[in-house]
Amino acid sequence: MQLEIGKVYEGKVKGITNYGAFVEVPVEDEKPITGMVHISEIANTYVNDIHDFLSEGQTVQVKVLSVNEQGKISMSIKKALPDEDKPTQKPRPRRQERADKGIIWQPKPQKPESEMTFEDMMSHFKQSSEERMCDIRRNTDRKTGSRRRSK
């Protein structure tokens, strides 16, 4: 009997590595089959150290995700969780709803030149000249390579 993709099995953690855990699933009348649970499939939260969530010999529920041409079995612990244990995500607000809440960035309106003070004009000049200098540096670096020439 082979493992069915999408089915949940009970297995035992046989080994833990930096990138995942190996889980052995008993199969009727055959030798147990071992698959791997990638670190991203262990929990619904960020997993820095697998040992915080699993230990060797622990019994876990796993869902078979896929079997590749070489016979390697990919499994998931977090997808085997019952629906009540899975975190619920709030639906993302649509773009119009976000605009109504003032979340979308809009540039500050510019004053007409006739209403600008001297300080406003100097600030505007300084900002635009700084942007132009950055563009010039970027273009010359691109043409001469990423290194600057030393004299």
CA distances to 42, 73, 83, 143 from 20, rounded to whole Å, are 8, 13, 23, 45
In the block, which residue shows the tokens 């006739």? 114
pTM: 0.54
Same domain, 76 and 12: yes
Same domain, 13 and 67: yes
- Identify whether 1 is part of a domain: no
- Identify whether 149 is part of a domain: no
pLDDT per position as a tens digit, 31-78: 888 999 999 999 888 888 899 999 999 999 999 998 888 888 999 999
**End position of a domain, from candidates 61, 81, 101:** 81
Same domain, 121 and 67: no
Q: What is the DSSP letter of 145?
A: -
pLDDT per position as a tens digit, 10-35: 999 999 999 999 999 988 878 888 99
CA angle 4, 10, 78 (to 5 degrees): 85
Same domain, 48 and 99: no
User: 67: domain CATH number?
Assistant: 2.40.50.140
CA distances to 31, 132, 140, 148 from 145, rounded to whole Å, are 60, 20, 8, 8
- Identify whether 12 is part of a domain: yes
pLDDT at residue 57, as a whole number: 92
**Cβ–Cβ < 8 Å for 56, 16:** yes
**End position of a domain, from candidates 47, 81, 115:** 81
pLDDT at residue 147, as a whole number: 55
Q: What is the span of the domain harbouring residue 25?
A: 8-81
- Identify whether 3 is part of a domain: no
DSSP string, 90-128: PPPPPHHHHHHTT-S--PPPPPPGGG--HHHHHHHHHHH
Domains in the chain: how many in total? 2
Same domain, 19 and 77: yes
Token duo for residue 121: 């004009």
- Identify whether 62 is part of a domain: yes
